[in-house]
């Protein structure tokens, strides 16, 4: 009998490249399962499967979050600058 499951997308983007992979996951799969099946961690060494920073459709999600058919798993990279700190610095420059 064929494996029962559904398809989800796993996406990762850097400044220089974006990747989108559709993967078949079994019923009951969680976010970590989709990331592992995507193979993106093998192509991007900065992705650490033990310390995933990810979300589903733009909402932060834990690695053990159950998936639903059609979900879009997004892998986040660390911010280069804290947005709150950048706003504070801009405001200081404008005051001068």
pLDDT surpassing 80 at residue 92? yes
Domain spanning 5-95: which superfamily? Beta-grasp domain (3.10.20.30)
Say what the pLDDT of residue 7 is: 98
DSSP 8-class letter at 66: B
pLDDT surpassing 50 at residue 1? no
Per residue in 57-90, pLDDT (tens digit) is: 999 999 999 999 999 999 998 766 677 888 888 8
Q: For the chain, give every domain's residue range.
A: 5-95
pTM confidence score: 0.78
pLDDT surpassing 80 at residue 47? yes
Mean per-residue pLDDT over the chain, rounded: 90
> Two tokens at 7?
């398809």
Q: Which residues, in sequence order, are bridge partners of residue 22?
A: 9
pLDDT surpassing 90 at residue 28? yes
């Amino acid at each position: 009998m064929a494996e029962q499951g559904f398809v989800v997308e796993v996406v990762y983007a850097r400044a220089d490249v974006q990747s989108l992979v559709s993967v078949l996951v079994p019923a009951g799969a969680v976010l970590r399962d989709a990331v592992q099946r995507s193979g993106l961690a093998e192509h991007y060494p900065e992705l650490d499967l033990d310390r995933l920073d990810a979300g589903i459709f733009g909402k932060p999600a834990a690695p053990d979050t159950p998936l639903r058919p059609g979900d879009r798993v997004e892998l986040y990279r660390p911010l280069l600058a804290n947005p709150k700190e950048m706003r504070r610095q801009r405001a200081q420059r404008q005051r001068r």
